[in-house]
Structures are given as C-alpha cells and as structure tokens.
Amino acid sequence: MTAKPKATHRFYNHSSESMPEIKSDSIALTVTSPPYWNAIDYDRHANDNGESWYRSREYGEGFVGYDEYLDLMQRIFTEVLRVTKPGGFCAVVIGTVLMKGKHYPVPFDFTGRMQEAGWDFHQDIIWHKTTAGVKRAGVTIQKPYPGYYYPNIMTEYILIFRKPGPAIYKDANGHKEESRFEIDRLFTMDTANNIWHIAPVPPRTIDHPCPFPEEIPYRLIRMYSYVGDEVLDPFLGSGQTSKVAVALGRKARGFDTLQEYLDLSERRVKEALKIRPKQLIARFEKIDLGADLSTSHRSPASIQPLLDLSAD
C-alpha cells in the first residue's frame, strides 16, 4: 500500500505558543510577521465591517506591556525553534513602533530574545516600502533646527535567523535542480542587496489589516527552502506565506487565533499568485549640492570642507 501524500496545507486555530500538531525538527523555513505590539486590534477587525482597522500603526492603545509582548514572542519562537529542522531558517518581518511620543526598537529587542531562545542571527534585510511609511519629516521641514529631525519611517526589517545545524544544501531532498531560482535583472538590481524595494499591498485588496506583499515570501521561500519542504507561518493572517509556499511546491502549515483568518487563508491558498509583473529597482541620481550650498545661509568657510571632500 502506498503512503497517503501529505496535504499541501494545514491550518490550526489556536495560539502558536504550543504547536503539538507539528513534529520536532520538521519545518525547513518559517516566514512570518508577528502581531504588532499594541497597534492593531485583530479581534475588532474580524468582527466589524472592515473599516475601523485602517489605523496608522502610530496610534495603538496600550493593552499589554512591552516586556510582556517580548516574552510572548520569545515563547512562540522557542516553539518555532523546536519544530524547525537543524540548519533551517526563520524569517521575521518586523518594524519599530511609535507610541505616545516614544519610539520602540522592537526589531533590535526581538533579535536579543531570539538569540536567548537559541536561534543564530543570520541576516538583516531592510524592506523599503517605497510608497508607504509613517510621515514625520513635516516637523523637520517646519522647524529646520537641530533636535527636530524626525525622518519618515519607510522601512521594516526582514530578520533571518537560523537553527544551528548542517547547511541546508547538504540535504536538498532530491529536489536540488527543481529548486534552482533564476538570476535575473530583478535579482542583480534588488534581491542581491539587503535592501529590498517592494510596494505594500494596496489598501482594501485583502480582508486583513496588515498582509505583507506576496513578493516577500516569494523571494524568501525560493532562497531558503527546497521544493517539497514544509514552510510554517505561526501568525497566518491572510495566508500570504502559505499561498506562495503551496504555489512553489512546498507544504504550508499555519496557525492563527482567529477562525476568520483561517477561513480567509483557506480560500486564498487556492488562488493564483499575484506577483506584480512590474517590480521596483532603485536608480541613483547625482544632485548638484554645490548650487544649493552656495545659496544657503551657511558661511562659505563651513561649507568649503564638505565640497572639498566630495571632490576627492
């Protein structure tokens, strides 16, 4: 009798603090974005008419302390470590949080907790959102004096951690050639660098407050897992990771505390990928700083060294 093939995807409706359905050392790759600390009330979104959750991450109301949030993340990613194959990877999309005038360095504190849990830090990738961000520079433009510099926040981090163990290319499950990815212009101009330029999902296209674009799991799954591998998302949301994983011949496993998001993911996992045919790359332009400086109110003595330096 032949063994029953494993389902392409399985979703579970409970907290990922404990994932008894997943065997130890079985997951090749996790691609996920944890709930934002204090910023989005997922329960409210799932129960209302879908309008009130389009809130800026800036205006979250406190309901759990920052340390409690980090403790919860550490518990969940300790469990993710258990289920991950030795040598396997975990990619976490996570940003800083602004709340009540304070800027919280969540990705940096989170990295410390991951290392405490037993993960090795492997890589930081900056997701440049290109068309979206938290606009703050208006303050600086109105008050161009030292101490008023608040740059717009255009980025989140894609932090890659690795479970200690053998290199994954030593066990390609017989799928090495099938898993080869193309080195195209997008790769050499963008993916090859650790700043990725990817526009966010346009508002109101997916019924979830914060899906990441398919392009993120699409790049990560092809570079950190082989065809046939199991890919986990412990915070399933709208199912972006699972949808891409299944389309790329991997098996998806996902957890969410809200049944609505399991139902949404179940519907979406069967849909065709929506990788945008037009992708973004950064082009650099030289601007004439000299002209600007000569009309500035600064004394020529203070600008001269700057100009000399740039001429070297």
Ligand X SMILES: C[S@@+](CC[C@H](N)C(=O)[O-])C[C@H]1O[C@@H](n2cnc3c(N)ncnc32)[C@H](O)[C@@H]1O
Residue ranges that bind ligand X, judged by CB under 6 A = 15-17, 33, 35, 42, 208, 210-212, 234-235, 237-238, 240, 255-258, 261
Within the chain, strands assigned E span 9-12, 27-32, 84-94, 97-99, 102-104, 120-128, 155-162, 195-197, 230-233, 251-255
Position with the least CB separation from ligand X? 237
Gap between the Cα atoms of 267 and 44, Å rounded = 21
Q: Which is nearer to ligand X, 168 or 262 (CB)?
A: 262
**Which has the closest alpha carbon to 129: 161, 159, 163, 152?**
152
SS3 92: strand
Tokens matching residue 209? 């407050």
The CB-of-130 to ligand X minimum distance in angstroms stands at 18
The sheet that has 27-32: what strands, in order across it?
Answer: 9-12, 251-255, 230-233, 27-32, 84-94, 155-162, 120-128, 195-197
CA distance 18 to 222: 27
Nearer to ligand X, 43 or 292 (CB): 43
For ligand X, which is the closer residue by CB, 36 or 150?
36
Instruction: Decide whether 64 or 195 has the Cβ nearer to ligand X.
Output: 64
> Do 134 and 98 touch, CB atoms closer than 8 A?
yes
Closest to ligand X by CB, 157 vs 255, is 255
